Amino acid sequence: MNFKSKLPNISTTIFTEMSALAKTHNALNLSQGFPDYPSSQKLNNLVSTAMDNGYNQYAPMAGNLELRLAITKKYNLLYKSTYHPDKEITITAGATQAIFTIISAFIHKNDEVIIFKPAYDCYEPAVQINGGITIAVQLSAPNYQVDWAEVASKISSKTRVIIINTPHNPSGTIWSKGDMLQLQKLTANTDIIVLSDEVYEHVVFDNQEHQSVCLYPDLKQRSFITASFGKIFHNTGWKIGYCCAPEALMAEFRKVHQFNVFSVHHPSQKGIADYMKDAATFLELHNFFQRKRDLFLNLISESRFKFQPAQGTYFQVLDYSEITDEYDVDFAKRLTAEFKIASIPLSVFNTNNHDDKVLRFCFAKTDETLVRAAEILNMI
């Protein structure tokens, strides 16, 4: 058959590649962002109870109402910001589906989308498959700070969407209030939509605060927030997420959502809604993950890797420039094969595979796994 690929340059993702390599070599897998410990038994039981109580048919297209109400309550509690549960919140099959649907709903041929690299790998293909053009702003290690003059220079009459991600995967950095104010200033009085990927909103360390777009009135009225229950409740395989946006934007989102997903797993939605009645389930997550970050970094403090402690997410970037000058992809593969530990090279997320000699390690692991990982890293 003859056909023209809509993604001719896309192959297997680096996450799949490194996890497969880890399995082949029986290596510790600190590459993909999922925990090696179970989700809450209480939450599991609540989902089972939902099944027993008949939540086994289609959920409403927008999502289980109890869950949407729980999300509304969460935004009021954390940000003193309100999203209407009927008109401004939609439950999705993970944050990735929400991101793809937003892009599909708003990007027309030759529209431009600004992204900040290193960028999570689902952004650019979603733009490309919808006929849009990605305009990249490259950030550099170790601080990954945004040059706002550069951003301003890349905004044009064709700019339709700006995608931001804070806390940032893969770098583990967070945006400041100053960054958000700059973004608000640049997008004021425009038709630019902001897609704010906030899946790690509850994983911010050292008493810093997550700067959600909903805290900034002009940003909020032009923004989507995408979020993930899988990331915060340790069950990425459930693929339950959500997005929030003003009513006019959400109405367009749902036009696409109803045809590519319609609704997602109903008992999981009901179980999560019941679980969130206790706000501690998400309010205390930063303490849980900061303890793991601190343990991991303390264990590797005498290694030859250099690092700045992650400000957020459950990923730690390690600089290996004092160990070798190998290309990061080659070094990551060698670590997996020879030392039995898998990580993610950041160059694959950069413009022209820009290589800062850094690797990303996931510390959402049991303490035993982190101790074993540190033992390996200290030998390198």
Q: What is the pLDDT of residues 164-203, one digit of tens each?
A: 999 999 999 999 999 999 999 999 999 999 999 999 999 9
Please, what is the Cα angle at 228 between 144 and 56, to 5 degrees?
Answer: 165
DSSP 254-271: HHHHHHHTS---HHHHHH
Close Cβ partners of 164 (under 8 Å, ≥ 6 residues apart): 116, 175, 183, 194, 195, 196, 197, 213
Residue 205, Cβ density class (10 Å: 0-12 exposed, 13-18 middle, ≥19 buried): buried
CB atoms within 10 A of CB 182: 17
- Determine the pLDDT at residue 133: 98
- Determine the pLDDT at residue 11: 80
The CATH class, in words, for 41-277 is: alpha beta
CATH number of 14-32+284-377: 3.90.1150.10
State the helix-helix crossing angle for 94-106 and 247-260, rounded to 10 degrees: 110
Please, what is the Cα angle at 101 between 98 and 102, to 5 degrees?
Answer: 85
Query: What CA–CA distance (Å, rounded) separates 312 from 306?
Result: 18
- For 380, the token pair is 């390198």
Residue 90's nearest CA partner among 61, 123, 70 is 61
Domain boundaries, the chain: 14-32+284-377, 41-277
- Determine the pLDDT at residue 32: 87
CB atoms within 10 A of CB 61: 13
Decide if pLDDT at 151 tops 90: yes
Query: What CA–CA distance (Å, rounded) separates 240 from 232?
Result: 11
Close Cβ partners of 167 (under 8 Å, ≥ 6 residues apart): 173, 174, 200, 201, 203, 204, 210, 311, 312, 313
Query: What CA–CA distance (Å, rounded) separates 226 from 218?
Result: 18
Decide if pLDDT at 9 tops 90: no
- Reported as a single tens digit per residue, the pLDDT across 290-335 is 999 999 999 999 999 999 999 999 999 999 999 999 999 999 999 9
Q: Give the pLDDT mean for 84-110.
A: 98
Work out the mean pLDDT of the chain and round it to a whole number. 97
Tell me what percent of the residues of the chain surpass a pLDDT of 70. Answer: 100
Q: Give the pLDDT mean for 236-261.
A: 97
Query: What CA–CA distance (Å, rounded) separates 166 from 201?
Result: 7
- Determine the pLDDT at residue 137: 98
Using omega within 30 degrees of 0 as the cis cutoff, is the peptide bond preceding 142 cis?
Answer: yes
User: Is the pTM above the cut of 0.95?
Assistant: yes
Close Cβ partners of 20 (under 8 Å, ≥ 6 residues apart): none
Decide if pLDDT at 12 tops 90: no
- Reported as a single tens digit per residue, the pLDDT across 113-141 is 999 999 999 999 999 999 999 999 999 99
Distances (CA, A) of 299 to 14, 323, 332, 378: 27, 18, 20, 8
DSSP state of 304: S
Query: What CA–CA distance (Å, rounded) separates 347 from 354?
Result: 5
Decide if pLDDT at 70 tops 90: yes
Residue 171's nearest CA partner among 371, 329, 307 is 307
Tell me what percent of the residues of the chain surpass a pLDDT of 90. Answer: 97
Query: What CA–CA distance (Å, rounded) separates 161 from 184?
Result: 13
Reported as type and span, the H/E element at residue 92 is: strand 89-92
- Reported as a single tens digit per residue, the pLDDT across 204-229 is 999 999 999 999 999 999 999 999 99
Decide if pLDDT at 244 tops 90: yes
Per-residue confidence band for 282, with pLDDT thresholds at 50, 70 and 90: very high
- Determine the pLDDT at residue 10: 82
